[in-house]
Amino acid sequence: MTPKQRIELVCPAGSLPALKSAVDHGADCVYVGFKDATNARNFTGLNFDPTAMREGVRYAHAKQRKVLLALNTYPQAANWKDWTAAIDRAADFGIDAVILADPGLMAYAHQTHPQLRLHLSVQGSATSYEAINFYRERFGIQRAVLPRVLSLAQIEHAIANTPVEIEVFGFGGLCVMVEGRCALSAYATGESPNCNGACSPGKHVRWEQTPAGMETRLNGILIDRFGDEERAGYPTLCKGRFDVNGETYYAIEEPTSLNTLELLPELARAGVRAIKIEGRQRSPAYVAQVTKVWRAALDRLMGDAAQFAVQPAWMAELDKVSEGRSHTLGAYYRPWK
CA atoms within 13 A on the CB side of 217: 11
Mean pLDDT of the chain: 92
> Between vectors from CA 173 to CA 172 and to CA 177, what angle results, nearest 5°?
140
* Overall average pLDDT of the 170-196 stretch: 82
- What pLDDT does residue 327 have? 87
Which pLDDT band, with edges at 50, 70 and 90, does 220 fall under? very high
Tell me the per-residue pLDDT of 252-277, one tens digit each, with 9 for 90 and over.
888 888 999 999 999 999 999 999 99
The CATH number of 8-174+256-332 is 3.20.20.60
Q: How far apart are CA 224 and CA 231, in angstroms?
A: 11
What is the pTM (predicted TM-score) of this model?
A: 0.91
- DSSP E strands in 54-204: the ranges are 66-71, 97-100, 118-120, 143-145, 165-173
Residues 6+ away with beta carbon under 8 Å from 224: 215, 216, 232, 233, 235, 240, 241
Q: Is the pLDDT of residue 171 over 60?
A: yes
Tell how strand 241-244 and strand 247-250 pair up: antiparallel
Determine whether 266 is exposed, middle or buried from the number of CB atoms within 10 Å of its CB (0-12, 13-18, 19+): middle
Determine whether 232 is exposed, middle or buried from the number of CB atoms within 10 Å of its CB (0-12, 13-18, 19+): middle
Q: What percent of the chain has pLDDT over 90?
A: 72
For the chain, report the end-to-end CA distance as a whole number of angstroms. Answer: 25
- What pLDDT does residue 2 have? 46
Q: Is the pLDDT of residue 1 over 50?
A: no
* Overall average pLDDT of the 221-239 stretch: 86
Tell me the per-residue pLDDT of 7-62, one tens digit each, with 9 for 90 and over.
999 999 999 999 999 999 999 999 999 999 999 998 889 999 999 999 999 999 99
Q: Is the pLDDT of residue 181 over 60?
A: yes
Question: Please, where in the chain does CATH 3.20.20.60 lie?
Answer: 8-174+256-332
- CA-CA-CA-CA torsion sign (310, 291, 295, 179): positive
Tell me the per-residue pLDDT of 290-321, one tens digit each, with 9 for 90 and over.
999 999 999 999 999 889 999 999 999 999 99
Other CB atoms within 10 Å distance of the CB of residue 225: 17
* Overall average pLDDT of the 271-288 stretch: 96
Q: How far apart are CA 29 and CA 164, in angstroms?
A: 18
Instruction: Report DSSP state, residue 202.
Output: G
Choose between 181 and 190: higher pLDDT.
Answer: 190
Tell me the per-residue pLDDT of 66-79, one tens digit each, with 9 for 90 and over.
999 999 999 999 99
Determine whether 208 is exposed, middle or buried from the number of CB atoms within 10 Å of its CB (0-12, 13-18, 19+): exposed
Residues 6+ away with beta carbon under 8 Å from 190: none
Tell me the per-residue pLDDT of 88-128, one tens digit each, with 9 for 90 and over.
999 999 999 999 999 999 999 999 999 999 999 999 989 99
